[in-house]
Amino acid sequence: MAEEHEVLTAEEAAALLRVSSKTLLSLARNGALPGEKVGRAWRFLKSDVLAYVRGDKDTKAREEQ
């Protein structure tokens, strides 16, 4: 699997951003960070998390709005 399509759990994404899981989920719920709920769990594309850090405006969530 290519790195840009790597799927992260909420805990992995939070660790990558060096924030708490609570902060990460708040960002996802508010639409600031693109993510998808799979059942009760959140999943994030690594490329979207890295784009969020860079401040890129062309992430998945922003394209859908």
What is the residue range of 43's domain? Answer: 5-52
The pLDDT of residue 61 is 46
In angstroms, the CA 9 to CA 2 distance is 17
pLDDT of residue 4: 63
65 assigned to some structural domain: no
Residue 20 inside a domain? The answer is yes
Rounded CA separation 41/60 (Å): 18
* Closest CA relative to residue 16, chosen from 58, 57, 56, 44: 44
Q: How much is the pLDDT for 62?
A: 46
pLDDT for the residue numbered 34: 95
pLDDT in tens, the chain (65 residues): 466 689 999 999 999 999 999 999 999 999 999 999 999 999 999 999 999 999 886 655 444 44
CATH code: domain of residue 33: 1.10.10
